[in-house]
Amino acid sequence: MSRKPLPLCVVVAIALSIAAISEFVGTPAALAESGVLSSAEASSSRLPMVHLDGGYFTRNGKRFLPVGAHWVPAKAAMQWPIDWDPKDIEADFAKMHELGYSLVRIDMLWAWFEPRPGDYNPKAFQQLDYLVSLGHKYQIYIHPSLLIGGEVGEAYWDVPWRHGRHPHADPDMLRLETNLANEFGRRYANESGIIAWDLTDEPPFWIVADSTTDAMAINWTRLIVDGIRQYDKVHPIVVGTSGQEITHGPFRADDISKFVNFFSVHPFTLYAPDLFPDPLLSVRGTYGAAFEIALSQGAGRPVMIHEMGASTAQFSPERVAAYDRTQIYSGIGAGSIGVDLWCYTDASPQQFHKVPYLRTPQETGWGMTTWDRQDKPLAREFKKISQVVDQLDLSGISPAPADIGIVIPDEWAKPHGDFSHFGLSGAELTPYVSTADADAIPGARQPDLSNANRWLMSSVLTSFILARRAHLKADFPREYQDWTKRPMLFMPSPITSTADPFLTHVRTDFYEKAKRYVETGGYLYASMAADGAIPDMAPLFGARLVDRAPSSEVILKIVSPLGGLKPGETFHYIVPSQTIESWGTILEVTSGKVIAVDQYNRPALVTNEVGQGKTLLSAFPLEHYLANVPAAFEQPENTHRIYEAFSDWAGVKPTFRADQPSVEASALKGGDRGYLVIVNHSAEPQNATVFTTLAAHSIGRITPQGITPVKMNGSTWKVALDSFEGAILEWK
């Protein structure tokens, strides 16, 4: 599917006729007999079994990055099981092979596989056998997405026998879903042509999206995984989620991490204008994949780009290609273990006259090829990327550790209703019940946390981008994880707030641990808003809160040097709302040093030294301000220099850095070798100078044709990048 569903989903029930499909048995022997494969091909072309090893997919003992797209055929669209055309399907596989696919994700329409409760359609499995056989022939792994479900626009392809039952909660529905998953596991446990199981596409199921709770999502995932695992102990399992982290959905990574082997992100930034108020092709927009990957990685599993793209019915083909290209490279640098775009082909014109395409014109143009298999600009870019990643030797390689940890509150990460870190023990005469946990009170529903979540997500996204523009890698450790391993810890407002809902901020006892972290050599940055609250603040930050500072704009003026910041420099911000979430604070400085003042000559940036560590405090929620500026990074914007100055003062030096803030440099490291993924996130071509702290003695740029040596000048070299272009360099 190519987007978040509309608030009110249109339920499309399909009554599928088993008799409508011609007989076909897709076993290797039958394929050889039919002439689809030669006898030699049937026995020798089989793909090797895949498993996850050290955070990457592995086959024949070698790690690789699978790349491909979701397949919905141009002519038959979602009716392909009925309008079955083996020759046309094989032509698609041949085209995908030409473009360098090593993976294709395919919908397993639930109503087709199970037309009646517990009654499985043999024709459906024969079709899957055929698709797998084509995968072997064309060396493309099949990634089945089960229990579909929602797909294409707002369409929901329901089972006709559901009768209004909740698929994430009804006992009979759960039993039937688990049994069908079990059947897939039983039939294909040893099938090497399947790369991984996707439990379903973009849960919660759209027809019950507003009523699915954290508990339902956790229980559903556990059951479906157990159904597969009864027979299949090998294939990795994922839930094909979309935007569950950035929307704080019930299927977010933290809720399902115990049951799956890797996570999925669908970074459709164009469908999240509250977080990405930008053109499609923009600085913030092209950081979407890397941001969602990093946010999900904090829950402890590797992450794959599962769907991504835009429609050429809405945007120029060249901009769509550049958008995907930039995000793919940025995502690989963030540690993505594969790429599966939405989608392989445009819809054919005959589909324009019936739903879902009839009602959603933009759905017609998402393909990397036209409906008649002609390459669009994205197809050409994708083929080059596939040729580049095919040359990677990922043995012993892993994403470089983060320089900055942006701490994610436990109230955001934990399942709703979990009270395990409340500091309570034993029985109590009067049990604690909170009005903030409304559904814990009889008759109350789970509260709507969407506004609070947007506040948090928009600020941490901005902090993530500012860190990258300062050439620092940021990740998202959870509040109760060991975040002390990062040399720097950042807490952009509202993480420092005290608001209800609580998911926006850390708990009171966090600051005791933060003080110990700084005393032992850590570096802590925090920004405050008028709703902020930090207990025993002065010893940690060298300042204390005095009062709120209402204003409609903020001008920071540097008055003392810090890193590259010089006295007299200014930073200007528009305050987005007249609320305590947007106003700043008045500080009284105790042991700290004033680095910047506001337009009223009040302390705005304050540094402090505590034990072996250092802190930097902002009296204003700078990240919140930038989050609310449309196209904020498409105009001159230098807030990253504050982050850069703090890291310089702290002595934290990135492994790789470029001399341009728009050029992202990410390391994949493995002992004395590795890769540098470098990405230009701007509309201007860049001839960037790259610096490294490593003792690298050779650099080579990987191109589709091979590796081109790059001339080094000591520990620096030049890299030329077109607008919104990425590249991978090998270093030794």
DSSP 255-279: HHTTT-SSEEE---GGG-TTT--S-
- pLDDT per residue as tens digits for the range 510-552: 999 999 999 999 999 999 999 999 999 999 999 999 999 999 9
- Residues in contact with 699: Cβ distance below 8 Å, sequence separation at least 6, in sequence order: 676, 709, 710, 712, 717, 729, 730, 731
pLDDT at residue 33, rounded to an integer? 43
- Residues in contact with 143: Cβ distance below 8 Å, sequence separation at least 6, in sequence order: 68, 103, 104, 105, 106, 194, 195, 196, 198, 340
- Determine the angle formed by the axes of helices 86-98 and 122-138, rounding to 10 degrees: 30
In which element (H, E) is residue 666 found? Answer: strand 663-670
pLDDT at residue 192, rounded to an integer? 98
pLDDT at residue 470, rounded to an integer? 98
pLDDT at residue 23, rounded to an integer? 39
CA–chain centroid gap for 581, Å, is 27
Q: Is the dihedral of CA 526, 528, 534, 536 positive or negative?
A: positive
- Residues in contact with 376: Cβ distance below 8 Å, sequence separation at least 6, in sequence order: 312, 317, 320, 321, 346, 367, 368, 369, 370
Architecture label for domain 656-731:
Sandwich (2.60)
Q: In the 8-state DSSP scheme, what is residue 151?
A: -
CATH topology classification for 404-650: Rossmann fold (3.40.50)
pLDDT at residue 443, rounded to an integer? 62
Where the chain has pLDDT below 50, the residues are 3-36, 39-40, 42
**Beta strands of 559-655 (E only): which ranges?**
570-574, 584-589, 593-597, 603-610, 613-618
Distance CA 387, CA 96 (A): 13
The CA-based dihedral angle spanning residues 379, 385, 387, 393, taken in that order and rounded to the nearest 10 degrees = -150
Closest by CA position to 249, among listed 227, 221, 284: 221
Please identify which residue in the block is written with the tokens 């399947």: 194
Asked if 395 and 464 count as a contact pair (C-beta separation under 8 A), the reply is no
Query: Would you put residue 521 in left (φ > 0), alpha (ψ -120 to 50) or beta?
Result: left
Count of other CB atoms within 10 angstroms of residue 727:
18
Asked if 313 and 367 count as a contact pair (C-beta separation under 8 A), the reply is no
Distance CA 558, CA 292 (A): 33
CATH superfamily of 10-399: Glycosidases (3.20.20.80)
pLDDT at residue 440, rounded to an integer? 62
Q: Is the peptide bond before 356 cis (omega within 30 degrees of 0)?
A: yes
pLDDT at residue 438, rounded to an integer? 65
Please identify which residue in the block is written with the tokens 């009067």: 430
pTM: 0.94
Domain positions in the chain are 10-399, 404-650, 656-731
Distance CA 420, CA 404 (A): 27
Bridge partners (DSSP) of residue 197 are 237
Count of other CB atoms within 10 angstroms of residue 21:
18
Rounded to 5 degrees, what are φ and ψ at 119? -110, 110
Asked if 407 and 463 count as a contact pair (C-beta separation under 8 A), the reply is no
Bridge partners (DSSP) of residue 380 are none
